[in-house]
Amino acid sequence: MADIKCPSCGKTNPEELEICQFCGTLLKQTRTEPLAPILPGQFPEKKATSELERTLPGWLRDVRSAANEPNTSPIPQVKVPQKSPPPAPTPPPPQSSKAPQSPLDLLAGLSQAAEEDDEIPDWLKSLQGETPAPVAPAAPQAEPQETPDWLADLQEEPAEKEQAPQPEDWGFSSEPTTFNFDEGEEPAQSFGDTPDWLAALDMPESAPQQPQPSAEEFPTLPGADSGDTPDWLASLGSIGTAQPENAPGEIVHPESIETPDWLSSLSGFESPSQPQPESAPPAPGGDLPDWLADLQGPGQTPPDTPVVETPAAEIPSGDIPDWMSGLQESAPSAPESVPSSISSDSPLPPLSSDLPDWMSGLQETLPTETETPAAEIPSGDIPDWMSGLQESAPSAPESVSSDSPLPPLSSDLPDWMSGLQEPAPTEITADEPAPTLEIPSGDLPDWLASAMGEQPASPAAPVAETPSRPTSKPFPTGALDEFRILAESEPLPDFLSGLVPETEEKKPEFEPEAQPGELPDWLAGMAAGAAASIEAEPILSAESEQPIETETETFIFPESEAEGLPPASVPAESKTPVPENEGIDSLLLDVPDWLAGFTPSVEAEQPEPAAPEEGDLRPVELPSWVQAMRPVESMLTGTDSVDVGDGEIEQQGPLAGFRSVLPVAADALEIRKPRPYALKLQVGEAQRAQAALLEKLLAAETESKAVAPPEKVSLLRPLRWILFAILTLAVLLPTILGSRVLPAPGLSTDANAPFNKFYDALTNAVPDGALVLVVTDYQPGFAGELEQAAVPVVAHLMRKNAQMVFLSTSPVSVEMGERLLQKGRAFYAKNGRDVPTYRAGEQYLFLGYLPGGAAGVKAFAEQPQRATGVDSLSGDLWQTDVLRDKITDISGFAAVIVITDDPDNGRLWIEQTGTRLGNTPMLMVTSAQAGPMIQPYAASGQLSGLVSGLEGGALYEKRDAQPGDTYPGHVKALYWDGFGVAVIISLLAIFFGAIWSMVERLRARKDEIEQDEA
């Protein structure tokens, strides 16, 4: 019973246990545990098949377990027991009993994957006659095998003879594959058994009397219980049919094993026309090379033989690989080149109907070709060594040393195989080497030709011990070491690499002499194995059997549950002939899907994944099954190197790991998160500088310019004082001295002079005792001037005994009339005249303040009584004797004298009363400053007279002087000289000041000019 190795502690546990008894780890992963996702930039890692067991879906594991129940052995692995005799060929199971072919069978071997992955497809391994073991962990092989498992199995002793071949082995039919040369031939053996043709090859060594297989029979591959085993393989198995009951190493030639005719012909089997479905495989004749003779033995795989991880591929039925077809040629001629690991008693599993092209080429007529170490076998082309077999077969009848004649070959057989039909096979004894075929040398591959040619001179000891076999080649064949050469020149695919001898340290004990047609290592190993088996070496135990080691790396099995899957069954034997012109290429192209998913781990350092850019997408986590499907460079090129010269390896993205990926646009694959943009206004340095400049300009506009302080004149204050003093003296001295030096102004003779008109109007228009309106609209500050100008007028009115009504539009000038009257009285007193008595209310009255500005004046002009109202203290003044029933409007006054210092007031009275005055003269006494502004009105006739300033007063005093007046008047007496001097001084000051300013300006300009010129 196969034990299960605990994945945690590594200790073995019985199969029935589900939990490790040592550490408690689940031995059988019932839950799917996908592999860790591969991030972009990472490369798939090398993983053992056992690790991938739990990656299979549960349903797959269940199916596998169900399929394995009747036959608990996993996918049969082609094992190459070292020292086990070829088992006796076992009859192929009926087709009906075969397990249904299912692709799941391909995954049967996952659960029992050994530590060392075997990259040889199972179908190939089954050719060695390995019996698939039950569900048991793959035990590490004791010794590496140099020869492929499928050949090694041929030499194995059926340690587990009681183990029936698995009905379903990775697609291979348990029935021996036949080439359908004859109808009714028995199906090929199971995959686990030594193919008949291989068994038949061993018959001359172990059982020369083995019946020759039919021509249509081909050795069955292990697990090929579906009956798709090519006949040629079944026949091979019959030649050296696996006999589980036989001791390992014995070459059993069960007569019941059907051997293909072509293979039987290799060993001197019966003619192809003599189908012998149950006949034991013909004993290998003397013409068969030793290695072929070894193949005749039962190739039953011991039960403990570890199963190789690699599942078997579905070899199309009828497709005989070329190298297999070559076996027919070289079997009788190079028995010594058979690798020792080949177990003759382990029949090759029947090939499925989907044999690769290279196997199908065995049925074709291949052109004769010498050694051709091609990198890859062209598809559809049978190697020369294979083709030579058909051609030389008929010409080398004597090379067939098998007891039973070779089965009749079909017309589709290669030439080298067709040659196998002619010679009468001789009985192959156990001691005799595998029957040899006389194959034309030109058709045989070199390796096969050399093997056949040097049969008697084989340097290998085991080979020497093998029974002599005819070395002549019935037809030229290619070199048996074609594959090795092929591998050396260019790496072979992994599943074929097992066919190539491994490294030097794995070479068999004996090395065939290097020759152009040197046998491949696997065949050399078979020869050695055959020799060893002849020496009755103990059959290697199941534990010592190791799966065929390959030079390639282990593959990562696609994510699928391998547990419980029934072994892949070889497709049913196809009756159709092997398609022609199918060589290694077809073999390569027919790589099953499960094999395509193998991705060897890359031992080289994986480049670190590129750091995601700021804002990149999250790395994609690929599912495990996708990861497993991702090809790796090493699988294609057979190298572990990741760094290649002719193309960069994609580091990221879904194509990580691929080489020579078409470049894309630099930014096409860049998936960046949009850069976040701030809401703030983005300005550059230049823009910021310009904005700052604009702000400065705007701020400068609002700022007030600093006004340069004027140059302070140092003499300004003293000059003022001097002028003040001068003026004061000029005024004071005359006043104190009472001088009257300056003459009074002269009277104008122009009657239209305003002064003359004023005096004339006041003299003529105002009768005595008339009512005169006197308006005092001047400020008290100008009283000194205006009183000097108005007092003579008032005195004149007093001399005329006019009634004066004082009115004012200024509230502070209401009582100014009183002052005027008072100064008039003094004037007369100075002159010694009688001063008339003017009493208030009788000769004069004050109407008070007239409000409203222009409107008030206008209102007074129209209705004086309503405009002035009733005095609260004096009563109604309009009812007094002065005004009673005299005034209705302004024109009722005999004259209107306006005394004002403001020209606007004067204009106001003129404008507002002009239309209402009528014949009433409007006289105006103004200040000297208002005179120029009022004079146009006097010139226009709107004013009847104008007296302006102190000069006017002086003139009016002069004009109104009465004879006998000694007092000239206040003006003349008190003010005129002082005024005169002050005016002169002022004028001089102004004059000299102007001159001084002009000189200074000229000098400053001159200095500026000089500075500019400088």
Partner 1 sequence: MEGNELIIGLLSFLFTVLVLSYIIGDSPAFRLAVHAFVGVAAGYVAATVFRQVVVDKLLMPLFVGSPLDRALMVFPLMMSILLLAKMSPRLEWLGRPVVAFLVGVGTATAVAGAVLGTLFPQIEASSAMFGQGLGGIASGAFILLGTITTIAYFQFTVRKANSGQRGKIMAFLALLGQVFIAIALGAIFAGVLAAALTAFVDRIQSIVLFLDSLIQ
Residues that bind partner 1 (CB under 8 A): 717, 720-721, 724, 727-728, 731-732, 735-736, 781-782, 784-785, 788, 811-812, 814, 848-849, 851, 853-855, 858, 869-873, 901, 907-908, 910-912, 914-915, 927-933, 936-937, 939-942, 948-951, 974-975, 978-979, 982-983, 986
User: Least Å distance between CB 916 and partner 1?
Assistant: 11
Nearest Cα to 307, choosing from 64, 500, 134, 529? 134
Nearer Cβ to partner 1 (141/813):
813
What phi and psi values does residue 435 have, to the nearest 5 degrees?
Answer: -60, 145
Nearer Cβ to partner 1 (532/925):
925
Q: CA-based Rg of the chain, rounded to a whole angstrom?
A: 72
| Token digits of residue 78 | 């082609």
User: Least Å distance between CB 726 and partner 1?
Assistant: 12
- DSSP string covering 617-655, please? PPPP---HHHHHHS--HHHHHS------SSSPBP-SSTT
Nearer Cβ to partner 1 (639/986):
986
Nearer Cβ to partner 1 (568/947):
947
Nearer Cβ to partner 1 (246/948):
948
Report which residue type is found at 829. A
Sign of the C-alpha dihedral computed for residues 723, 726, 731 and 732 taken in this order? positive
Nearer Cβ to partner 1 (343/776):
776
Q: What is the DSSP letter of 971?
A: I
User: Least Å distance between CB 872 and partner 1?
Assistant: 5
889 by Cβ neighbours in 10 Å (0-12 / 13-18 / 19+) ranks as: middle
Nearer Cβ to partner 1 (461/974):
974
User: Least Å distance between CB 963 and partner 1?
Assistant: 27
Report which residue type is found at 54. R
Nearer Cβ to partner 1 (849/967):
849
User: Least Å distance between CB 1013 and partner 1?
Assistant: 28
Cα–Cα dist 195/216, whole Å: 13
User: Least Å distance between CB 713 and partner 1?
Assistant: 15
User: Least Å distance between CB 777 and partner 1?
Assistant: 14
User: Least Å distance between CB 775 and partner 1?
Assistant: 15
834 by Cβ neighbours in 10 Å (0-12 / 13-18 / 19+) ranks as: exposed
Q: What is the dihedral of CA 497, 502, 507, 513, to 10 degrees?
A: 60
Nearer Cβ to partner 1 (410/813):
813
User: Least Å distance between CB 950 and partner 1?
Assistant: 5
Nearer Cβ to partner 1 (617/812):
812
User: Least Å distance between CB 868 and partner 1?
Assistant: 9
- DSSP string covering 843-880, please? TEEEEEE--SHHHHHHHHHH-HHHHH--BTTTB-GGGS
Nearer Cβ to partner 1 (273/935):
935
| Token digits of residue 235 | 């026949």
Nearer Cβ to partner 1 (441/926):
926
What phi and psi values does residue 587 have, to the nearest 5 degrees?
Answer: -65, -45
Cα–Cα dist 398/63, whole Å: 51
Strand partners, 762: none
User: Least Å distance between CB 935 and partner 1?
Assistant: 9
User: Least Å distance between CB 783 and partner 1?
Assistant: 8
The phi-psi region of residue 511 (left if phi > 0; otherwise alpha if psi is between -120 and 50; otherwise beta) is beta
- Token pair 């200024």: residue: 810
The phi-psi region of residue 147 (left if phi > 0; otherwise alpha if psi is between -120 and 50; otherwise beta) is beta
Nearest Cα to 787, choosing from 653, 553, 631, 957? 957
